[in-house]
A = this chain, B = another copy of it.
Amino acid sequence: MSESFGRVAIIGVGLIGGSLACALRAQGAAEHVVGCGRDRGNLERAVELGVIDAWTHDPAEAVRGADLVVVAVTLGATADILARIAPALAPQAIITDVGSAKRCVLEAARAQLPPTHYARFVAGHPIAGAEQSGVEAAKADLYVRHRVILTPVANTDREALATVRRLWECVGADVLDMDADLHDEVLAATSHLPHLLAYALVDCLLGLDSPVDVFDFAAGGFRDFTRIASSSPTMWRDIAIQNRRALLAVCTRFEATLATLRRAVEAGDAQALETAFARAKRARDDFVRRRTTR
């Protein structure tokens, strides 16, 4: 018998929240799942698909009596949601989130939740997703063998931390703890900066004054490089701003690396380019190999 997480409230029934709900139900690990969101069509569809049992537009109503509250909205909406649910939380409620940056979420939680609930707030980030969004894209196996990073702080309740760890393990994820600032730096480097670069490349090409439509001549490499530029603009707007300190720091390093390669191109320095490209290729091939085998 797997554990039950009791009454679960999912605030934000999109790809991430919806997939977690799907997976919990597939495991029989939730007694009752209430979904909360703004889009009535999406919520009704979530009930039809069996992802949630009931829905409401009101976050406070959604969390009433819930044992576990999962905040799965865009980062920019997190503070507001926490403020709205704070007065309605049951004493036993454990709260977690799925945001792609964690320092900003912890600050919002400390500001918006009473201390007893802040101690039962476990910031988390499942490293999974897709450029699609909405409950239609949700799937029960989204988290299988994906990493989930939890960023507890000194006064995080150990029982709440253990429960949220079991929540993600229950849906197949590999869970680990990390310092929130380190999380934000690592994700800025491996996810947030690549998104900014992909958006920047497409936007740059849109601005070219060319007699042909350059996109007509783009091929598979361009398609894959820019896949993440098909991600949700509002979600990535929020991530860029909420994690701006770490994002700008790694962006500065990237600009310096690009400038170095650029100088090698200008100078026709074949050796320098080959050395850098070969080093990058080895690291990227190694990343793919490790990912395939773990």
Which parts of A190-229 form the interface with B (CB within 8 Å)?
190-191, 193-208, 210-212, 214-229
Question: What's the Cα separation between A158 and B202 when bound, in Å?
Answer: 37
Indicate if A53 sits at the interface (CB-CB under 8 A): no
- How near does chain B come to A148, taking the closest CB pair, in angstroms? 11
Cβ B185 vs Cβ A217 within 8 A: no
Indicate if A240 sits at the interface (CB-CB under 8 A): yes
Cβ A202 vs Cβ B273 within 8 A: no
Cβ A279 vs Cβ B206 within 8 A: yes
Question: What's the Cα separation between A244 and B262 when bound, in Å?
Answer: 9
Cβ B218 vs Cβ A190 within 8 A: yes
| Cβ-neighbour of A201 out of B193, B231, B233 (below 8 A) | B193
Total chain A interface residues with beta-carbon distance under 8 A: 94
- Scoring A231, A261, A276, A284 by chain B CB atoms within 10 A of each residue's CB, the highest score goes to A284
Interface segment out of the listed A35-43, A64-72, A91-99, A264-272: A264-272
Interface segment out of the listed A19-27, A82-90, A246-254: A246-254
Question: What's the Cα separation between A182 and B231 when bound, in Å?
Answer: 31
Question: What's the Cα separation between A136 and B23 when bound, in Å?
Answer: 41
Indicate if A111 sits at the interface (CB-CB under 8 A): no
Question: What's the Cα separation between A214 and B199 when bound, in Å?
Answer: 22
Produce 1/0 per residue, A155-167, CB < 8 A to B: 0000000000000
Dominant secondary structure of chain A at its interface with chain B: helix
Cβ A237 vs Cβ B203 within 8 A: no
B residues in contact with A197, CB < 8 Å: 197, 201, 225, 258
B residues in contact with A215, CB < 8 Å: 190, 283, 286-287, 290
With known contacts A214-B190, A234-B274, A200–B258 Cβ distance under 8 A: yes
| Cβ-neighbour of A221 out of B195, B212, B287 (below 8 A) | B195
Q: Identify the closest chain B residue to A225 (Cβ).
A: B194
Q: Identify the closest chain B residue to A275 (Cβ).
A: B233
- How near does chain B come to A137, taking the closest CB pair, in angstroms? 14
B residues in contact with A146, CB < 8 Å: 219
Cβ A258 vs Cβ B196 within 8 A: yes
Cβ A241 vs Cβ B127 within 8 A: no
B residues in contact with A244, CB < 8 Å: 265-266, 268
Q: Identify the closest chain B residue to A146 (Cβ).
A: B219
Shortest 9 CB-CB contacts between residues of A and residues of B:
A233-B277, A202-B280, A190-B218, A204-B257, A233-B278, A237-B273, A224-B224, A237-B274, A221-B228
Given A194-B222, A203-B280, A225-B225, 9 more A-B residue pairs with CB atoms under 8 Å apart are A189-B210, A190-B214, A191-B218, A202-B280, A205-B283, A230-B288, A241-B265, A248-B265, A255-B258
